[in-house]
Amino acid sequence: MRAATSPTTRALVTRRIGWTAAAVAALLLSVLLSLTVGARSIAPAEVFDVLLHGGHSDAAEIVRTMRVPRTLIGLMVGVALALAGTALQGITRNPIADPGILGISQGASVGVVLAIAFAGIHSLSGYVWFAFAGAALASVAVYAIAASGRGGATPVKLALGGAAINALLTSVTMAVLTTKAAALDEFRFWQVGSVAGRDAEVVGQIWPFLLAGTVLVLSVARGLDALALGEDVAKGLGQNVATVRITAGIGATILTGAGVAAAGPIAFVGLAVPHIARAIVGSDHRWVLPMAALTGPVMLLVSDVAGRIVFPPSEVPAGVMTALIGVPFLVALVRRKAVPA
Amino acid sequence: MTASSAATAVGMRPAGYALVRLGQGRFLLHRRAAVAAGVLTLALATVCVAYLCVGESNVPPADVLKVLFGQPSANELVVGTLRLPRMTVGLLIGAAFGIAGALIQTVARNPLASPDIIGISQGASALTVGAMTFGITSYAVLPYLSIAGGILAAALVYAFAWRGGLHATRFVLIGIGFAIALRSVTHLFLTKGDYLVAQQAQIWMTGSLNGRGWDEAAPLAWALLLLLPAVLWAARAQRTVSMDDDTATALGVRLGRVRLGLVLTGVVLASVATATAGPVDFVALLAPQIARRMTRTAQIPLLCSALMGALIVVVADLLARRLLSPTELPVGVLTAAVGAPYLIWLIIKGRTGGKA
């Protein structure tokens, strides 16, 4: 493996570095867009001025209290969902694995509903734990359903297991919201999936979880590569398949739980981004994971910015925009027969 | 002529069928299906009486029967005005969902292709909730929007899943994708309206019979009556679709058209029911599957599916009214609580079908 001096390998490395630089540039551009575009456009120069020197003009207040937290949350949630999707697609060896399709986001949602309605918890640092518990239960349940019976965890069985869990959890949510009407008013703004209007404190509260999940997922990058070759080959290569799956699974659950607790269930980022990342840098997870972490926030921030300008003056939440962008992606994926029946 | 042809008919009678003579006409009757239909009708009648008896105030069965047969009774208001119309709506939507599920499952040859999994219910929800948030709350308009939404969603899924043929797996996966996207559009509309509209829409979305009366039952009954010829046609056409493609083509059946007709009938039925009570999840999935296991016929039996659907909805609504009384749950919560585990069981047993 270390004989990395052959011309083709060098060309691959150059290509990967080039694309990574491009992704960084795209990320910076989307951050800038997210800071400047909105109901009130603020010139980039003014944004920089505010960020560097502060100030008390209207524009400065908007940038500081609204745009900066929103952009930071978009960044973090984008990273979290993209890494979670990549890890899930890796451990299930399944091209359509996504926290939304597999029902893991819905599990986190139910956790949050129960926290709001019964435990009287209204702060993110409080209900993030409920989100974790819900996400973990849902992911275990879906995988158990799909893996049992003939044929193992095929894409269709995973998606159907996800649909079943989604339906079941939705009915639990509805039952709670019917009996506790007050919770609906808080919950309806959360369940649509948006990075707007969240408290700036949220940023400070989710980064430890984000860091923990990222470290877990990155630590098994080599294991995910081996797993991509098949379970038996991975064992032959000396990988402990169970450890890799469990570590990556816990990482993905933490990332999904944190992302959903912060922004609500945002679908399809975890589905689309890993495919884009693999198309760009190949199948090596040590490159795919960082690339996904760079492109995930780009997709989410661009969706968010697009949502601000399609129907002014009102906004379309990022969760709706990602779903509208993600469905054509899923359709293309399924039609291309990337998904074995 | 009559004697000899009757003898041949008896001689060629397939196993499990009985020959029934009605005046000049004769037709074959599947014995087991007839028994199942009879049992289901009896069960449904019992449950209906129980539904009318039980509630905030319990009414003795004798009084219920009095009200039903139009004799004066002290419980006229509770039974005749509150419970009876609601039960009628439940019966009708249950039957409609049951038949819709049976037709769509027949064409897709897959139990999972029911309207609530492949995005039809979600399409109906999205358009209806959207209209509600923009201030259209009249029941004169909403049902049509709901029907339009359901048909539109079905058309989209069908179009995107079509690739030189309809592959069941592709159809279901794309349907699930559309279902998720349409649900998020519905959530968007929920945040736009004011709180009361959101609450009303949320309950509608779960599927609820709360406060349904004759005003909703009458248009529903008319719509189903209009669809009756289509259903009768479908009951015959169903048989040709279950043949394999080569046999059907050899017999001169235009399979494509028949399939489209069956799906369209199913989608319209599901959308009409959704328009009245919201997407009552899983009835369309469950009813045909249980009915088929009861009759053990090759095709999914339409009459038994309809009876089974009605039975499920009425039982679920009875539980929804009483379980957390005085709070009334939406009936969809209960059907989903029963239906989702059944779907999980189907997946585990591998009965998800691979090809269509």
**Which of the pair, A306 or A340, is modelled with greater confidence?**
A306
Alpha carbons B49 and B61: distance in angstroms, whole number: 7
Residue A25 lies in a domain: no
Minimum mean pLDDT range among A282-296, B115-129, B200-214, B221-235: B200-214
Query: pLDDT, tens digit, for every residue of B189-202?
Result: 877 777 777 777 77
Query: pLDDT, tens digit, for every residue of A23-71?
Result: 899 999 998 888 888 777 778 878 788 777 777 777 777 777 778 888 8
Query: pLDDT, tens digit, for every residue of A88-145?
Result: 888 877 777 888 878 888 898 888 888 888 877 777 777 788 888 898 899 888 888 8
Residue A10 lies in a domain: no
Residue A329 lies in a domain: yes
Question: What pLDDT shows up at residue A80?
Answer: 92
Question: What pLDDT shows up at residue A337?
Answer: 60
Residue A142 lies in a domain: yes
Residue A65 lies in a domain: no
Q: Average pLDDT of B16-39? A: 77
- Whether the per-residue pLDDT at A340 is higher than 70: the answer is no
Half-sphere exposure (CA, 13 Å, Cβ side) for B30?
Answer: 16
Domain membership of residue A269 as a residue range: 76-335
Residue A15 lies in a domain: no
Question: What pLDDT shows up at residue B26?
Answer: 67
Element (H, E) at A53: helix A44-53
Residue A39 lies in a domain: no
Contacts of A269 in chain B (CB under 8 A): none
**B191, B336, B352: residue with CB nearest A171:** B336
The tally of domains found in chain A comes to 1
> Quick one: pLDDT band at residue B5, thresholds 50, 70, 90?
very low
Contacts of A320 in chain B (CB under 8 A): 184-185, 187-188
B18 exposed, middle or buried (CB, 10 Å; 0-12, 13-18, 19+)?
A: exposed
> Quick one: pLDDT band at residue B91, thresholds 50, 70, 90?
very high
Query: Residue A259 belongs to a domain with what CATH number?
Result: 1.10.3470.10
Query: pLDDT, tens digit, for every residue of B245-254?
Result: 777 777 777 7
Q: Please give the single-letter amino acid code of residue B2.
A: T
Domains and CATH numbers, chain B: 44-349 (1.10.3470.10)
The residue assigned the tokens 């208001």 is: B77
Minimum mean pLDDT range among B9-23, B109-123, B269-283: B9-23
Question: What pLDDT shows up at residue B232?
Answer: 87
Which has the closest alpha carbon to A339: B252, B170, B268, B310? Answer: B170
Contacts of A167 in chain B (CB under 8 A): 116, 281-282, 336, 339-340, 343
- Whether the per-residue pLDDT at A74 is higher than 70: the answer is yes
Q: Average pLDDT of B134-153? A: 82
Contact B181 A326 (CB under 8 A): yes
Q: What percent of chain A has pLDDT over 90?
A: 13
**A171, A317, A319: residue with CB nearest B333:** A171
Task: Please identify among residues 144-173 of chain A the ones whose CB lies closer than 8 Å to any CB of chain B.
Answer: 145-146, 148-151, 155-157, 159-165, 167-168, 170-171
Smallest Cα distance from A283 to chain B, Å: 25
Which has the closest alpha carbon to A264: A100, A72, A92? Answer: A100
Query: pLDDT, tens digit, for every residue of B62-82?
Result: 888 888 887 777 777 777 778
> Quick one: pLDDT band at residue B92, thresholds 50, 70, 90?
very high
SS3 of residue B22 by DSSP: strand
Question: What pLDDT shows up at residue B306?
Answer: 93
State how beta strands B17-22 and B25-30 pair. Answer: antiparallel
Question: What pLDDT shows up at residue B345?
Answer: 82
Which has the closest alpha carbon to A338: A252, A272, A243? Answer: A272
Query: pLDDT, tens digit, for every residue of A145-202?
Result: 887 776 666 767 777 788 888 888 888 887 887 777 777 777 777 777 777 766 677 7
Smallest Cα distance from B3 to chain A, Å: 53
User: A154, A156, A271: which to substitute to probe chain B, counting the most B Cβ within 10 Å?
Assistant: A156
* Residue partners of B205: CB distance under 8 A and separation at least 6: A174, B125, B129, B186, B278, B279
Alpha carbons B270 and B114: distance in angstroms, whole number: 10
> Quick one: pLDDT band at residue B143, thresholds 50, 70, 90?
confident
Residue A303 lies in a domain: yes
Task: Please identify among residues 41-70 of chain A the ones whose CB lies closer than 8 Å to any CB of chain B.
Answer: none
> Quick one: pLDDT band at residue B25, thresholds 50, 70, 90?
low
> Quick one: pLDDT band at residue B3, thresholds 50, 70, 90?
very low
Query: pLDDT, tens digit, for every residue of A223-238?
Result: 888 888 877 788 888 7
Alpha carbons A203 and B274: distance in angstroms, whole number: 41
Query: pLDDT, tens digit, for every residue of A196-229?
Result: 766 677 788 888 889 999 999 999 888 888 888 8
Q: Touching check for A72 and chain B: CB below 8 Å?
A: no
For residue B118 the two structure tokens come to: 């492949």
Alpha carbons A180 and B51: distance in angstroms, whole number: 26
Task: Please identify among residues 277-316 of chain B the ones whose CB lies closer than 8 Å to any CB of chain A.
Answer: 281-282
Alpha carbons A139 and A91: distance in angstroms, whole number: 12
Prediction pTM value: 0.77
Alpha carbons B282 and A168: distance in angstroms, whole number: 10
